[in-house]
Amino acid sequence: MKIGIIIKHNKKEAVEEAVSLLKWLGTKDVQVFIDNDLASQTGFKKGYNKNDMPELIDLLIVLGGDGTLLSAARLIGLNDVPILGVNLGSLGFLTEITRDEIYNVMEKVIKGDFECEKRMMLCTKVFRWGEEVAVYTVLNDAVVNKGTLARIIDLETKINGEYVTTYRSDGLIVATPTGSTAYSLSAGGPIVSPSLDSVIISPICSFTLTNRPIVLPDDVTIEITLKTPESDVLLTLDGQVGFPLKPDDIIRITRAANYLSLIKSPARGYFEVLREKLGWGS
């Protein structure tokens, strides 16, 4: 088995855990791949370009939090590489494995004794004057939002070519079920089981109070056109990557061609994570 490791850089605990994990994996019949940055921090003999790693590995271990895993998901792209997310802080929605559980879980993983959960992703493209100028794959959400100085923005929205409405709001969130517990939830969107294939549209602080979140099937094509002359508007991908938009830019969002495979925690289920993260019953 070929195993890659990616960590949250500049986090002392992540580097320490990576060192311990590398030593432990060194006693197993596996090949280990880490990026050049981690190799320099740990003294590991050989590192690789991070962008090349998805083509080289059978499994990716992520040491960090949900944000680190979101970055890893974009890195994996179209490669069918399962991800084992290890949270080094509090329990995450995506990084369900705790630091204390990692070695017991890895013993099972190396033997092939594990289950994966398939998570749908979104393909987001930006068109400017008819030309494709950007393309991204996201696990959580694609968000059109105004900058600090922009006023309310107008976002003409179509689904499968049919005009829905022009949202006058601070922005618009298009989320996957995985992303339903992220920014979309803060904007009043529903919690959708990650096992479902669907798309959620949630307006951010809509000027029209009757504009409510919508849940759509996964086979739709969503087109959002920036109809306001504001230049301080961004398309934000998974809350981590920003692309500046111009008036009349069209954002086209469809389901991505591939799923992301997350290795499930053998110790807890989705609703236990929900209870803990959202404080239900406390």
DSSP result, 36-74: HHHHHHHT-S--B-GGGGGGT-SEEEEEE-HHHHHHHHH
- CA 230 → CA 129, 151, 250, distances in Å? 17, 8, 14
- 3-state SS assignment for residue 179: helix
- CA 38 → CA 46, 167, 220, distances in Å? 10, 44, 40
Q: What is the DSSP letter of 111?
A: T
| Rounded (10°) angle between helices 102-110 and 12-25 | 40
Work out the number of other CB atoms within 10 angstroms of the CB of residue 260: 26
From the list 66, 170, 238, 249, the catalytic residue is: 66
Give 20's contacts (C-beta < 8 A, 6+ positions apart).
none
- Has 100 been annotated as catalytic? no
How many CA atoms lie within 13 Å of 157's alpha carbon, on the beta-carbon side? 22
Given the structure tokens 């056109």, which residue do they identify?
225
DSSP result, 126-172: EEETTEEEEEEEESSEEEEEE-SS---EEEEEEETTEEEEEEEESEE
> Active-site residue numbers?
66
